[in-house]
Chains A and B, each alone.
Chain A
Amino acid sequence: MSDPIFLRPLTAPDADRGEAVEFGPDKALALDCGRTLTNWRLAYKTYGKLNAARSNAILICHALTGDQFVASAHPVTGKPGWWETMVGPGKPVDTDRFFVIGSNVLGGCMGSSGPASTDPATGKPYGLDFPLITIRDMVRAQTFLIDHLGIDRLMCVMGGSMGGMQALQWTVSHPERVVAAMPIACAARHSAQNIAFHEVGRQAIMADPEWHGGAYYEHGTQPSKGLAVARMAAHITYLSEPALQRKFGRNLQNAGGISFAFAPDFQVESYLHHQGSAFVDRFDANSYLYITRATDYFDIAADYGGVLAEAFRGCKTRFCLISFTSDWLYPTFENKRIAHALNAAAANVSFVEIESDRGHDAFLLNEPQMFATVRGFITAAAASEGVAG
């Protein structure tokens, strides 16, 4: 165990950094691309206490640009944990009852091995020498962490968006280790539209001269403009048209009217600029390339002759899928496709679609129906496993 190393300075020297595990050659990580990481690390943060039977662990998988700080302040930005409404004492994922593990993904930039980490072979940051990773690799890495924590079976694996993809992958790769799974607002594969938006983001980063072919660390710079544009484009896909309209409409920045120039006239423009610049302050551009690529490669059915149901054959995990009506990034029909495949595999599945006009990001927001669903499902799953309440 060691202190995670972050790219950016902490808000305070004593900020809670969580933990990181370092894995050596005896815990080499064989990746889908054919390469193997022999010295690698995974950063995580835990909440609550593991019970004596080690049966109350819940793994929370984060989305594209999330991190392990699920329910406590982010040590770099100082902002509250990204799912504090969901996870905490007395919350739907109750840390008074459950041992909650937030795991940073492989390829991330919050203390886990990724393109910004030092390549032990060269002593320099990997940059594009870091191997391409997949969602399956992320899950593979998490199994080492779960082993390290001495946990055999997870009471639940859950997450939204890319976190939901990891939860699904867990049930496919390690069904015997997952009692219950809650993939929220996700899909079993990336659609052409998903890939298209990601490619816009990647091209924006790579078109920035400060990117230097991915070796910007050595130039003491970063492709901030490209990364900000990538974030701005992606952020639009996280919202819905009605929510944008309601929040901003055509409202102007200045009471004086339009400027007949290209500085932000509209409030929606400055909002996006703010999203872009805040993101650059906490995220690594190469990590963004690697992680978006991992989600683009995600297609569970592809490993099973194109038949999604085959991936879940014999799976004993209890599933609860949640989608949101206005999510056009991972729309209800993609979530329902998973529910249908689980039905066809005669798996135990619940599926809830929640009425919300806040788009994909609804899973991060205050959605009482989602909280009620999560609480009910987890309580029932815990009771089935005899986890004391």
Chain B
Amino acid sequence: MSLRPDLAAIADLIPQNARILDVGCGDGALLEHLSETKNVDGRGLELSQQKVNASVARGLPVIQGDADTDLGEYPSQVFDIVILSLTIQATRNPKAVLSEMLRIGRRTIVSLPNFGHWRIRLGLLATGRMPRNKTLDNEWYDTPNIHLCTIADFVDLAATCGAEIEQAFALTPAGRTKAMSPRSWGPNLLAEGAIFLLRGVR
């Protein structure tokens, strides 16, 4: 099974034998891939009980839980890397979630859909309606994505949370990733999504 492109890019950032927590791990595809290829000691947290059950049945250590409420129970700095892939926009309090992740892990990886992409900007301008595309494919009133942001917005949030951006990558429409300078205007207009490797600064 081939990994979703953003997950493959995240996997490339994970060192061998790392201790990782995948927040919102879905069906456990990334965890399984990292266990097989990087021998990680991986754990998952997932809101959907069905997905949790499926992951555990495949032998992955996953618990049912909510990033918004349950990260507080983890001790500080116990994981090498905490991952939040395409999930931050669905949390109730992205700032609190990011802060908790920076506390729990020595490094944090966040990937997000970029609401600043030109198609979305143009879509809103042209149609006057909430933009939809293949990653954000819900009506505005029933979308789980309640906190969408642009790359520039996230860069600001990272600074507010006292996080240093160590690496940043743009996700291109072709499913490729490209190193980017997070504060330049180009990626915020052209990238469909982004991946950040962050370190909490204390």
Contact = CB atoms under 8 A, between A and B. Distances in A.
* A and B are interacting partners: yes
Contacts of A352: 49, 52-53, 56, 64
Most buried by A among B63, B70, B73: B63
B75 interface: yes
B74 A344 contact: yes
Interface string B9-47: 000000000000000000000000000000001010000
B75 A346 contact: yes
A350 B73 contact: no
Given A343-B73, A344-B75, A379 B53 contact: no
A344 B76 CA distance: 9
Interface residues of A, number: 27
A255 interface: no
Interface in A369-383: 369, 372-373, 375-377, 379-381, 383
A372 B54 CA distance: 8
Contact of A383 (B53, B59, B61, B75): B59
B112 interface: no
Nearest to A346: B78
B61 A376 contact: no
B58 interface: yes
Contacts of B195: none
A343 B43 CA distance: 10
A355 B70 CA distance: 21
Contacts of A21: none
Interface string A94-117: 000000000000000000000000
A139 interface: no
Given A354-B53, A377-B56, A340 B73 contact: yes
A103 B154 CA distance: 56
Contacts of A373: 53, 56-57
A348 interface: yes
A351 B47 CA distance: 12
B104 to A, nearest CB: 10
Given A320-B56, A376-B56, A377-B56, A350 B61 contact: yes
Contact of B43 (A348, A372, A375): A348
A339 B53 contact: no
A310 B165 CA distance: 35
A269 to B, nearest CB: 36
B98 interface: no
Interface string B75-91: 10010000000000000
A62 interface: no
Interface of B: 41, 43, 49, 52-53, 55-65, 70, 73-75, 78
24 contacts: A318-B61, A336-B64, A339-B63, A343-B63, A343-B70, A343-B73, A344-B74, A349-B43, A350-B55, A350-B56, A351-B62, A352-B49, A354-B53, A355-B49, A369-B53, A372-B53, A373-B56, A376-B57, A376-B58, A377-B57, A377-B59, A379-B59, A380-B60, A381-B59
8 nearest A-B residue pairs (beta carbon): A380-B59, A376-B57, A351-B63, A372-B57, A346-B78, A350-B56, A350-B61, A340-B73
